[in-house]
A and B are shown apart, each in its own frame.
Chain A
Amino acid sequence: MKILLVEDEPALVSAIRRFLEEEHYVVTTATTYARAATALHDYDYDCIVLDIGLPDGNGLDLIRQLNAKSARSEATTSGLIIISAKDSLDDKLLGLELGSDDYITKPFHLPELNARIKSVLRRRFFGGNNLITFGDITVDSLSHQVRVRHQTIDLTEKEYQLLVFFMANPNRLLTRAAIAEYVWGDYMDGADSHDFLYTHIKNLRRKLIDGGCPDYIRTRYGAGYLFSKTA
């Protein structure tokens, strides 16, 4: 899977790039509007991660260019995730209106970006196949149905989100802060949310084990979780 990362902050570019490469993506980066426009013109990408606040141009114009390109060719359209420093509703709406698949506000956790990219790619390229599988667990991302060896597990919405987040980041150390941010966003803050998260993870774990699933959720180093088949 080829990803174009458009972001003007070098430190962010290198961190995101390394992270995505670990996830076995082929990553091209562009730090300016001009380079991004050229890259978009010359190559096709499966997913574009675009910071719309570029110093030399408006990222939204890049989306327009992308739309014009996909209108001309028969090639599959790229997935698009907007990164914005502005938590502004207008930007979000305009971006989604212009055909962006998702929107993420700075600062974000890399596992969250990873989960979002996976979700976008799934929607774009595996049409019809909405199933995510990890070990004995199969999740239908359309109906939000969770099965363990063909047995349906009944999860709450938050537990479902937790599970999807874990499945998008297997074998990766996830901290409570990153998980809480993904599951609750702005709604929950402070120390309570960690305690709350703990309860949710405990419930999810119990439901999975009760459903006959091996225990994939492991606590690591006291402050993090690892979703893994191996102990």
Chain B
Amino acid sequence: MSLLRKTLLYLLLVMLPVAIGGGWLFDTLIRRGIYYEIDEQLSSDLAYINRQLIRQQVAIGKDRHLLNNPHIEPIPGGRVMAPVYSDTTGYDWREHNPVPVRQLKATVAVNGRHYLVVVKQAMGEFDEIARLLSVVVSGGFILLLGLLVLLNSWVSRRLWTPFFTLIEQLRAFRLDAPEPVRFSGSSVAEFNHLSATLNDMGHNLQQQYQLQKAFTEHAAHELQTPLAIITTDLDRLLGTEPLTEEQVTLMESAQSSVRRLVHLNKSLLLLTKVENQQFADLEPVNLSSLAEQQCRLFAPYAAHRGLDWQFTIAPDVTRSLNPYLADVMFSNLLKNAMVHAAAYSTVRITLTNSSFITRNAGLPLPFPEDQLFGRFVKNPARPDSTGLGLAIAGQVARRYGMQLGYTYQTDIQLHVFTLNY
């Protein structure tokens, strides 16, 4: 749930009890006020009647008003009671129904005679006024709050726009982007601050990444010259006489190690270049002829390993790729299938309109499956592999938005690599 919605929800949740409680409170207060005023009115009415009784201007026992108001009745003896306010109902003979009434009952002593005086005030109208007021006020409150919510959501939406823009830019942020990302500023100081911070961070990250990349590339390049010198020096050394078998064996072993190093170096350089998008040029590559050519190239080696090397290749499957990378990706996948196939087993290679599949028998992976396309992940039984072949194939596939997947069929011990293009 968005921050905005959550805010609105909380506002609404708070608003309802406040409106209900506030309405009740308001109603109570108004009623109290009205009662206070009415009671004051009643006591002044009583005082008035008292004065009239003194002046003998009142016809006692004769109701002159609605609701028998005021009701004055002489009472015998000197029984005096304190004035009592109470709520009751009176029959309104004009409306033919009982109506709520506030009355003041009191005894009045005038010229030695005692009267019981009851003054009344119909409350119906006041109740209605109180109710109406409460409803109007509560309604007004809800309406105002609703408006506030709407206004708030509108304002929030406007205020948070730069924030969402930043998020979008952050989502699009790529460490390996050729152009540094500029996060846009805002008139809101906080967001401006955030964007400035992000800009700094992005700049630093990209700089670090570029340095790292340049380092790998330079390191690989710089390694080439000493490797070339070692290679030629060993060749020269082999041309000297006399040599012993031990010397030659050592030199050969050194040459093999140098060759491994050279392959490793080339692979690393290639990986860096793929990551650097240094193979920008695309052209239609006939995958069928590429795969066929490579299958034939590897066939003698497969035969040497006693493999049944079968390939089924659909004709004229063409995709737009960098030809060199396509070559590398296919040869790495084929090499993988060939090298890791169990001796004297069958390797099946299939190229269809949508996928390239290699199937080779072999023991389960000696490492977790999710590391398969990682760098320097290799079978401990084959320590002289670079461990980069599948990493490169994976990187090239990713580069062109292709899916390179792996499954292992446990029951028949079959490694299946599928490249969907």
Q: List chain A positions with a Cβ less than 8 A from chain B.
A: 9, 11-12, 15-16, 18-19, 22, 85-87, 89, 106-111, 156, 158, 172-173, 175-178, 180-181, 186-192, 194-196, 199, 220-224
Q: A107-B258, A175-B238 are in contact. Are A187 and B331 (CB under 8 A)?
A: yes
A15 contacts B232, CB within 8 Å? yes
Q: How far is the CB of A227 from chain B (nearest CB, A)?
A: 14
Contact with A along B282-313 (1 / 0, CB 8 A): 00000000000000011011001100000000
B421 at the interface (CB under 8 A from A): no
**Which residues of chain B are within 8 angstroms of A89 by Cβ–Cβ distance?**
324
User: Given A190-B385, A224-B252 in contact, is the A106-B228 Cβ separation under 8 Å?
Assistant: yes
CB neighbours of B236 from chain A (8 A): 15, 18-19, 110
A15, A176, A199 — most chain B CB neighbours (10 Å) = A15
In the docked arrangement, what's the CA distance between A196 and B252, Å?
A: 16
Given contacts A188-B301, A189-B259, contact A175 B251 (CB under 8 A): yes
**Min C-beta distance of B274 to chain A, whole Å:** 13
- Complex CA–CA separation, A86 to B269 (angstroms): 9
* A222 lies within 8 A of B248 (CB): yes
Is residue B266 contacting chain A, with contact meaning CB distance below 8 A?
yes
Q: B249 an interface residue at 8 Å Cβ cutoff?
A: yes
On chain A, the residues within 8 Å of B305 by CB distance are: 192
Q: Is the CB of A85 within 8 A of B238?
A: no
Question: What's the least CB distance linking A20 to chain B, in Å?
Answer: 11
A223 touches B252 (CB 8 A): yes
Given A22-B239, A85-B221, A191-B384, A196 and B304 contact (CB-CB distance below 8 Å): yes
| Number of chain B interface residues as a range | 35 or more
Instruction: Label chain B's interface by main secondary structure.
Output: helix
Closest to B263 in A: A189
B409 within 8 A of A: no
Not counting A188-B301, A189-B260, a sample of 14 additional A-B residue pairs whose C-beta atoms are within 8 angstroms of each other reads A11-B229, A12-B225, A15-B229, A89-B324, A108-B232, A173-B238, A173-B248, A175-B238, A178-B235, A221-B244, A222-B248, A223-B248, A224-B238, A224-B252
Contact of B233 among A11, A192, A196, A221 (CB under 8 A): A11
Are B235 and A19 in contact (CB-based, < 8 A)? yes
CB neighbours (8 Å) of A111 from chain B are 235
**What is the CA–CA distance of A180 and B297 in the complex, to the nearest angstrom?**
15
Contacts of A223 in B (CB 8 A): 245, 248-249, 251-253
Specify which chain B residues have a CB less than 8 angstroms from the CB of A196 in the assembled complex: 301, 304
Min C-beta distance of B58 to chain A, whole Å? 123
Q: Is the interface of A mostly helix, strand, loop or mixed?
A: helix
B326 CB to nearest A CB, Å: 12
| B residues with CB within 8 A of A | 221, 224-225, 227-233, 235-236, 238-239, 243-245, 247-249, 251-253, 255-256, 258-260, 262-263, 266, 269-270, 297-298, 300-301, 304-305, 324, 331, 335, 339, 382, 384-386
**Residue from A9, A19, A186 in contact with B229 in the complex, judged by beta carbons closer than 8 Å:** A9
Docked Cα-Cα span, A194 to B256, in Å, equals: 10
CB pair B300–A158 under 8 Å, yes or no, is yes
**Chain A minimum-CB-distance residue to B227:** A107
A109 and B248: CB pair below 8 A?
no
A29 to chain B, nearest CB (A): 14
* B384 & A85 in contact (Cβ 8 Å cutoff): no
A-B contact pairs, 22 of them (CB 8 A): A12-B225, A15-B233, A87-B266, A89-B324, A106-B227, A107-B227, A107-B229, A107-B230, A108-B231, A173-B248, A180-B259, A181-B259, A186-B263, A187-B298, A188-B301, A189-B260, A189-B263, A190-B339, A190-B382, A195-B304, A223-B249, A224-B238
The answer to whether B229 touches A177 (Cβ under 8 A) is: no
Closest to A195 in B: B304
Q: For A172, list chain B residues within 8 Å (CB).
A: 239
Find chain A residues with CB under 8 A from B253 CB: 223
By a CB distance below 8 angstroms, the chain A residues around B227 are 106-107
**Once bound together, how far apart are the Cα atoms of A66 and B6, in whole Å?**
76
Q: Say which residue of A12, A86, A195 sits within 8 Å of B228 (CB atoms).
A: A12
Given contacts A173-B248, A196-B301, contact A9 B228 (CB under 8 A): yes
Tell me, in angstroms, the Cα distance from A183 to B149 when the chains sit together: 78
Q: Is B263 a contact of A177 with CB atoms below 8 Å?
A: no
Distance between B253 CB and nearest chain A CB, rounded to angstroms: 8
Chain A nearest CB: distance from B122 CB in Å? 104
B-side contacts of A199, CB under 8 Å = 304
Query: Across the interface, which residues of B come within 8 angstroms of A18, CB to CB?
Result: 236
**Chain B residue contacts of A178, Cβ below 8 A:** 235, 255
Bound: A12/B61 CA distance, A: 140
